[in-house]
Amino acid sequence: MCGIFTQIVHTGFQHREELTQRIREANATRGPDARKSCCISCSQLNLEFFSSELRLRGNNPVVQPHKSESGSLLCWNGEIFAGMDVRADENDGIKLFEQLRSLETGDQVRHFFASVEGPYAFAFYSATAQKLFFSRDPLGRRSLLIHRPSATNPYFLLASVSAGPDPGYSFEELDTGHIHCLDIATLNKANDIVSAFDGCLSLFSRSDSVSSSSIHYAYVSRTHKGQHKFTSERFAFTTSVMLKVRDIPQDLSLKGQSRVAVLFSGGIDSTILTLLADRHVPRDEPIDLLNVAFENPRKIKVQQKGNINPNKKKSKAKVSESDTDPTLSNSTVAEFMVPDRVTGLSEVEELRKLCPGRVWNFVEINVPYHESQATRQHVESLMNPVRTVMDLSLALALYFASRGIGQIRSKPEDDPTPYTSTARVLINGLGSDELLGGYGRHRTAFVTGGWAAVVEELQLEIDRIPTRNLGRDDRVISSHGKETRHPFLSLDVVSFLARLPVEYKMDPRLPAGVGDKMLLRLAARRLGLVEASGRKKRAMQFGSHSARMEGDEKGDKLLES
């Protein structure tokens, strides 16, 4: 994981160095291990390439940008999990640059990236061709923002994350469907880069690539059973999980502490990922289960007994016995016994029975209301350019969960002790609902249009993934110098699941908690996760109580500036 920032400014323009430095610092937090800036001066243009480094591959420290003797540069924010031979002791960015620096055309760069699999965003400058190539992976698993030159702000910017809303730029998410190529040589000859910019930018569509099949997944319609044979092991995508959790460099000063954590609600997605991670993480290392809960004044008010007067002083929140676990000590604060905390506490016990040799650190991350409000402006800055109520409620949950500061208990009945997770790799279950029919709208589609409507809706889910959550989530989580990895969103897993007949994945005729994500539930049960296999879906913002803290604002409402 890295933060990357590239800017191109006309030599005659006096840009705001203060703003540029704030963007550098915002991207530096993503890579706390190293940072560096390289500058190139043309006759009329100044180019800067800045990278920070979070070292998660190879044995030796790496400082970016990668630079060749000819002057080519690479700012790399990604992981190569397949398509390139990278040993455990090697850095994938170095290996990638060795092959990339000889390429000079958009077609060459496009075909090269069609052969590798992993989350990435990059900016590559070919000194011999005098061209700048930049892109994100097909699913947009890494953030990359672009500001195009305008009359008000006549310069070009690329960044993993912005410095928050500012009149000095108009950032937007870079689309994932193309390799972008900016002709620096031609732009350098122009007197006005604003008017010349579009003519110097070429787009090379991934759909024209030799591996176009890897980015469009035509959902298979219903078919006769027996035509597709697969095992639960194959479906459980243990290889994808293995690639996400193995060969993570270890700080010798932290030997024996966690290198891997799971964003853990106790739901089926996070639990099956946790169980599979157990197979590939050294047995003597703990795995951190990050479980976040918010003090939500609105929810507390609803739970109060007899408080029908809105002006009456609030008494201490109470929850029903069904919402608490009697094995917990009296130090457990009732307002943090949110739905995800209850299911998380229950599910960690199932994991302990199935994997008794593992130390499971169930990290209770309790967020008081005043702290969430004090952090809100910073989280909104990280989210930028997205700005809806739903974006904020999800971003808050991810921000505090990934920070990993909370408490753990040796036994459920013990008092808690403070704990901060040392894990730099966070496993995230995003993608299962889109791939396996986990949303209520999939059931609605079946009611209104039958199986054909379900297939159409599932294809839309895949098409929308790059534009919905992943860039925002990456910007928020990476602000702590940590990296999120998505085993469900390995292109191999996506391709395999998308090609299965729809009735193998879900059956909307069955009740919720049974027919939704049916294939995943069957796999979980076969793996021994009986309790997890029957849990109904609950969105993170509602399970953690990060949503609707003051009122019933609609999720698509824009936040006030």
The per-residue pLDDT for range 378-427, each reduced to its tens digit, is 999 999 999 999 999 999 999 999 999 999 998 888 999 999 999 999 99
Q: Do residues 180 and 254 both lie within one domain?
A: no
- Is 330 a residue whose pLDDT tops 60? no
pLDDT band, very low/low/confident/very high, at 242 (cuts 50, 70, 90): very high
Hey, what amino acid is at 315?
A: S
Distance from CA of residue 164 to its chain's centroid?
Answer: 19
Q: Is residue 327 part of a domain?
A: no
Phi-psi region of 517 (alpha: psi -120 to 50; beta: other; left: phi over 0): left
User: Residue 178's domain spans which residues?
Assistant: 2-205
Task: Tell me the average pLDDT of the chain.
Answer: 89
Residue 329 CA, distance from chain mean position? 34
Lowest mean pLDDT among 252-256, 329-333, 347-351: 329-333
Spell out the residues 6+ positions from residue 358 whose beta carbon is closer than 8 angstroms to its own.
Answer: 278, 283, 286, 287, 351, 352
Is the CB of residue 484 less than 8 Å from the CB of residue 395? no
Q: Per DSSP, what are the bridge partners of residue 407?
A: 364, 418
In this structure, which amino acid lies at residue 445? A
Q: For position 316, what pLDDT does the model report?
A: 39
Task: State the pLDDT at residue 507.
Answer: 96
Residue 197 and residue 264 in one domain: no
Residues 154 and 269 in one domain: no
Residues 195 and 237 in one domain: no
Task: Give the whole-angstrom CA distance, residue 294 versus residue 395.
Answer: 13
Tell me: do 91 and 157 sit in the same domain.
yes
Tell me: pLDDT of 217 over 60.
no
- The answer to whether residues 34 and 153 belong to one domain is yes
Beta bridge partners of 418: 407
Distance CA 177, CA 323 (A): 46
Evaluate if residue 213 carries a pLDDT over 90: no
Comparing 6-15, 103-112, 148-157, the range with the smallest average pLDDT is: 6-15
The helix (H) or strand (E) run that includes residue 157 is strand 155-159
* pLDDT greater than 50 at residue 232: no
**Predicted pLDDT at 219:** 62
Q: Is 38 a catalytic residue?
A: no
User: What is the mean pLDDT of the segment spanning 424-439?
Assistant: 96
Supply the pLDDT for residue 302: 79
Within this chain, do residues 195 and 263 fall inside the same structural domain, yes or no? no
Q: Are residues 170 and 292 in the same domain?
A: no
Given a cut of 50, is residue 52 above it in pLDDT? yes
Last residue of a domain, one of 163, 187, 205: 205
Q: Given 2, 75, 181, 200, which residue is catalytic?
A: 2
Q: Give the tens place of pLDDT for each residue, 168-186.
A: 999 999 999 999 999 999 9
Residue 548 has pLDDT above 90, yes or no: no
| Number of domain units in the chain | 2
Residues with Cβ within 8 Å of 308's Cβ and at least 6 positions away in sequence, in order, are: none
Token pair 């009945």 is at which residue? 413
Instruction: With H, G, I as helix, E, B as strand and everything else as coil, classify residue 395.
Output: helix
pLDDT band at 334 (very low <50, low <70, confident <90, very high): confident
Residue 308 lies in a domain: no
Instruction: For residue range 61-115, list pLDDT tens digits in order.
Output: 899 999 999 999 999 999 999 999 999 999 999 999 999 999 999 999 999 999 9
Q: pTM higher than 0.85, yes or no?
A: yes
Q: What is the tens place of the pLDDT at every residue in 349-378?
A: 999 999 999 999 999 999 999 999 999 999
CATH of the domain at 480: 3.40.50.620
* Residue 435: inside a domain: yes
Q: Is residue 214 part of a domain?
A: no
Q: 51 and 123: one domain?
A: yes
Any domain includes 553: no
Domain boundary among 190, 205, 220: 205
Q: Is residue 170 part of a domain?
A: yes
Q: Residue 201 is encoded by which pair of tokens?
A: 């930018």
Q: In what order do the strands lie in the sheet with 287-294?
A: 417-420, 405-408, 360-367, 287-294, 260-263, 425-427, 483-485
Quickly state the pLDDT bin for 329 (edges 50, 70, 90): very low
Taking alpha carbons only, the member of 39, 101, 37, 41 closest to residue 65 is: 37
Instruction: Note the pLDDT tens digit of each residue in 493-508.
Output: 998 898 899 999 999 9
- Cβ neighbour number for residue 217 with a 10 Å cutoff: 20
274 falls within a domain: yes
The arithmetic mean of pLDDT across residues 258-272, rounded, is: 97
Q: Which of 187, 205, 223 is the last residue of a domain?
A: 205
Give the span between the Cα atoms of 533 and 527, in whole angstroms.
10
Whether residues 243 and 176 fall in one domain: no
Reported as a pLDDT band with limits 50, 70 and 90, residue 311 is: very low
Give the span between the Cα atoms of 96 and 66, in whole angstroms: 10
Whether residue 363 is found in the same domain as residue 417:
yes
Q: Residues 179, 67: one domain? A: yes
Cα torsion angle, 385, 386, 392, 393, sign:
negative
Instruction: Indicate if the pLDDT at residue 254 is higher than 50.
Output: yes
Would you say residue 534 lies in a domain? yes
